């Protein structure tokens, strides 16, 4: 299904610092909130200033009733730093919804996420209505504010940290073989570091469980015109993360 796309100036309703260099922004954008699907993203542009190119933001929540979109993002450069300085009442231009999202036709999914890859997975967990378990990983406990967000929507949450300061010590994929063996999952949805998604795809395939991955690539337009996010696929064709993804079945792409 091709979703309608909008380019709208949206008012910022909230901007909250969640952890070191990590922010949650909520904007009033009812037209996009009404039609957005889990896995979609938007391209946002600052109104004025020196930053001209749009930046991609995965949708962490879309509330059609309130007409709001929520984004979680980490400050990595001048662009995201400029967004983090915006305050309620200011406006940004939002282009979206963009891309293809996660498969919703499953009954018992496992969500696997690491770092900021958990952002689009939050919208998916909410939309599944307490059907999904979540396996999440981070470097240390200070990054795991995600547990409070996901506990509203997940059946079970499994946590790993690199230093063992919260949950199981190790990487998220360290727990994956046991979960795939003991739980009756019919799909795995993953987003995070490439190495995490690669291992998740391998383990899911070995267990006979279909897996989708959400890719992150630099992109300028978000509409498939600039070709900056093109990738090679297993079928030998070049595809665009912004238009053909960002969500792909794992066997389609090289991770």
Query: Same domain for 126 and 240?
Result: yes
Nearest Cα residue to 255 out of 235, 233, 230? 233
Query: Same domain for 149 and 224?
Result: yes
Query: Same domain for 177 and 212?
Result: yes
Tokens matching residue 199: 């291992």
How many C-beta neighbours within 10 Å does residue 236 have?
6
Q: In the listed set 46, 78, 98, which residue is the last one of a domain according to the structure?
A: 98
Query: Same domain for 86 and 212?
Result: no
Query: Same domain for 121 and 91?
Result: no
pTM of the model: 0.95
Query: Same domain for 174 and 206?
Result: yes
CB–CB of 255/233 below 8 Å? no
Question: How far, CA to CA in Å, does 197 sit from each of 111, 128, 189, 250?
Answer: 11, 21, 9, 9
Element (H, E) at 4: none
- Cis check for the bond before 167: say yes or no (omega within 30 of 0): no
Query: Same domain for 86 and 122?
Result: no
Predicted confidence band at 88 (pLDDT cuts at 50, 70, 90)? Answer: very high
Query: Same domain for 173 and 235?
Result: yes
With respect to residue 144, please indicate whether it lies within any of the assigned structural domains: yes
Query: Same domain for 165 and 247?
Result: yes
Tally of domains within the chain: 2
Query: Same domain for 116 and 81?
Result: no
pLDDT tens-digit map of 62-82: 999 999 999 999 999 999 999
pLDDT tens-digit map of 131-169: 999 999 999 999 899 999 999 999 999 999 999 999 999
Q: Please provide residue 133's backbone torsions phi and psi, each rounded to the nearest 5 degrees.
A: -95, 155
Q: Say which range, 8-17, 166-175, 223-232, has the weakest mean pLDDT.
A: 223-232
Tokens matching residue 213: 């991955």
Q: In the listed set 98, 133, 159, which residue is the last one of a domain according to the structure?
A: 98
What's the mean pLDDT in 230-253? Answer: 90
Cα–Cα distance for residue pair 243/126, rounded to 1 Å: 24
Give me the percent of the chain exceeding a pLDDT of 70.
Answer: 99
Q: Which domain holds residue 77?
A: 6-98
CB–CB of 138/115 below 8 Å? yes
- Directed axis angle between helix 194-207 and helix 172-182, to 10°? 20
Q: In the listed set 47, 73, 98, which residue is the last one of a domain according to the structure?
A: 98
Cα–Cα distance for residue pair 42/20, rounded to 1 Å: 24
């Amino acid at each position: 299904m091709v979703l309608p796309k909008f380019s709208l100036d949206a008012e910022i309703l909230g901007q909250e610092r969640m952890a070191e260099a990590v922010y949650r922004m909520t904007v009033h954008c009812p037209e996009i909130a009404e039609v957005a699907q889990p896995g979609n993203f938007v391209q946002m542009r600052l109104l004025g200033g020196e930053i001209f190119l749009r930046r991609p933001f995965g949708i962490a929540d879309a509330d059609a009733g309130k007409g709001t979109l929520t984004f979680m993002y980490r400050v990595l450069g001048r662009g995201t730093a400029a967004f983090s300085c915006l305050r309620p009442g200011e406006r940004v231009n939002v282009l979206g919804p963009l891309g293809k999202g996660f498969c919703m036709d499953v009954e018992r999914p496992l969500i696997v996420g690491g770092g900021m890859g958990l952002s689009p997975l939050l919208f998916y967990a909410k939309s599944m209505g307490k059907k999904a378990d979540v396996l999440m990983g981070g470097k240390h406990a200070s990054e795991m504010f995600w547990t409070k967000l996901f506990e509203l929507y997940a059946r079970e949450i499994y946590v790993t940290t690199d230093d063992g300061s919260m949950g199981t010590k190790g990487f998220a994929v360290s727990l994956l073989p046991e979960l795939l063996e003991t739980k009756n999952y019919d799909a795995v949805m993953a987003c995070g570091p490439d190495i995490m998604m690669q291992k998740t795809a391998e383990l899911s395939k070995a267990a006979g469980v279909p897996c989708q991955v959400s890719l992150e690539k630099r992109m300028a337009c978000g509409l498939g015109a600039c070709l900056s996010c093109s990738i090679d696929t297993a079928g030998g064709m070049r595809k665009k993360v912004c238009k053909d993804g960002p969500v792909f079945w794992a066997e389609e792409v090289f991770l």
